[in-house]
């Protein structure tokens, strides 16, 4: 059973004529007849009397209201798809890692709102793994995350590299490691660390890097906000390894000290993730263009600035 067969049946009912139904549908009369016959075969009963004028059989009378509802739903579905793909949407949902939410997205969000004032923006700060999951589940349209090829390299997703940034050490200003030009990884392994919770790409990146160096990570405390890292590190007991963008505000805090590490240097790649079908929708395509201009560059020792359009 196909929609065009049901449409042919309704046209015959409305015009009371196979010939007039063909004219109304822009088809030949033989085509209309074949479509109605195919519909009758699918249902197993004749739908119209073909002698003495067009009239509905008992099966046709039973089927008529269902046929009307099916066609109405089909028209509604077509309208919804055209509206969605034409950019007629009421909201745009984004998931991003915390540092991007805090330091890079605000300017993009402001420009997008200026360009599309009718669209409500919904932004959620999440760890990379969680952000990619809600993207794959269809709960958000775009994710700005730390790259993880195991999660981002799938046929359904499109990945655009944005920038790379180094990982630095942050500690209290009076910590034994403070003030060094660069902190050795072996020394870092001797101190307890505040780390991101599972589900955050930074946690896995750090664990894997230290493992390759034959070192163990002493994860003494798990956190999930940058303010929490600042608060616990300031106490002097714990250190933390964080990306440079996340340290932008901490760099001006006199109670903290930020130092680079010795080689091998650790960096993270931040990417913009969506899907090819979403990229066809004008508002999403525009947001992707704006976000694609996020190119932080080092300013001074530890801070980053946005170099957008």
Query: What is the longest distance spanned by two Cα atoms in the chain?
Result: 102
Window from 6-10, 168-172, 218-222, 238-242 with minimum mean pLDDT: 6-10
* Average pLDDT rounded to a whole number, residues 45-58: 84
**How far is Cα 154 from Cα 141, in angstroms, rounded to an integer?**
16
Tell me the pLDDT band of 183, cut-offs 50, 70 and 90: very high
d(CA 18, CA 10): 11
Domains within the chain, CATH numbers bracketed: 3-85 (1.10.10.10), 91-162+270-302 (3.40.190.10), 163-267 (3.40.190.290)
Is residue 224 scored above 90 in pLDDT? no
Q: Determine the Cα–Cα distance for residues 51 and 130; give it in Å rounded to an integer.
A: 65
Residues 6 or more apart from 37 whose CB is under 8 A from it?
none
CA distance linking residue 276 with residue 280, whole number of Å = 7
245 and 103 Cβ atoms separated by less than 8 Å? yes
Please check the confidence at residue 59 and state whether its pLDDT lies above 80.
Answer: yes
Q: Which of 35-44, 149-158, 266-275 is predicted with the least confidence, judged by mean pLDDT?
A: 149-158
- pLDDT at residue 240 is higher than 70: yes
Determine the Cα–Cα distance for residues 152 and 148; give it in Å rounded to an integer.
6
CA 202 to each of CA 210, 246, 291: distance values in angstroms, whole numbers, following the listed order: 12, 11, 21
What is the average per-residue pLDDT within 165-185?
93
* Residue 234 clears pLDDT 60, i.e. is over it: yes
Q: Decide if 268 contacts 205 (C-beta within 8 A).
A: yes
DSSP string, 171-228: EETTSTTTT-SSB-HHHHTTS-EEEEPTT-HHHHHHHHHHHHTT----EEEEE--HHH
How far apart CA 57 and CA 55 sit, in angstroms, is 7
Distance CA 149, CA 155 (A): 12
Angle at 309 (CA atoms; ends 299, 291), nearest 5 degrees: 90
Sign of the torsion formed by the C-alpha atoms of 184, 201, 235 and 248: positive
- pLDDT surpassing 80 at residue 294: no
Structure-block tokens of residue 184:
């050795």
Find out whether 218 and 191 touch, Cβ atoms under 8 Å.
yes
Among residues of the chain, what percentage have pLDDT more than 70? 91
Average pLDDT, the chain: 86
pLDDT at 27: 83
């Amino acid at each position: 059973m196909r929609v065009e067969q049901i449409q042919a049946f309704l046209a015959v009912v409305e015009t009371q004529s196979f010939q007039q139904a063909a004219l109304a549908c822009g088809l030949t009369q033989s085509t209309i007849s074949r479509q109605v016959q195919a519909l009758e075969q699918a249902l197993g009963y004749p739908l119209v009397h073909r002698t003495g004028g067009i009239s509905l059989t008992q099966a046709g009378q039973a089927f008529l209201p269902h046929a009307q509802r099916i066609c109405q739903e089909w028209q509604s579905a077509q309208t919804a798809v055209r509206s969605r793909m034409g950019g007629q949407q009421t909201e745009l949902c984004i998931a991003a890692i915390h540092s991007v939410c805090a330091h890079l997205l605000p300017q993009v969000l402001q420009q997008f709102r200026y360009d599309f004032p009718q669209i409500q923006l919904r932004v959620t700060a999440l760890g990379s793994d969680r952000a990619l999951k809600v993207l794959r589940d269809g709960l958000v349209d775009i994710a700005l995350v730390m790259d993880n090829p195991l999660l981002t390299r799938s046929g359904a997703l499109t990945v655009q590299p944005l920038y790379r940034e180094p990982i630095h050490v942050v500690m209290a200003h009076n910590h034994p490691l403070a003030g060094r030009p660069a902190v050795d990884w072996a020394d870092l392994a001797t101190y307890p660390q505040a780390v991101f919770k599972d589900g955050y790409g930074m946690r896995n990146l750090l664990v894997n890097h230290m493992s390759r160096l034959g070192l163990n990570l002493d994860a003494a405390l798990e956190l999930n906000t940058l303010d929490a890292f600042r608060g616990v590190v300031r106490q002097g007991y714990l250190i933390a390894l964080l990306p440079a963008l996340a340290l932008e505000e901490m760099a001006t805090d006199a109670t903290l000290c930020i130092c680079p590490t010795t080689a091998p240097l650790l960096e993270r790649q931040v990417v913009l993730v969506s899907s090819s079908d979403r990229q066809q929708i004008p508002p999403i395509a525009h947001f992707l263009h704006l976000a694609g201009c996020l190119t932080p560059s080092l300013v001074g020792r530890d801070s980053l600035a946005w170099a957008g359009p």
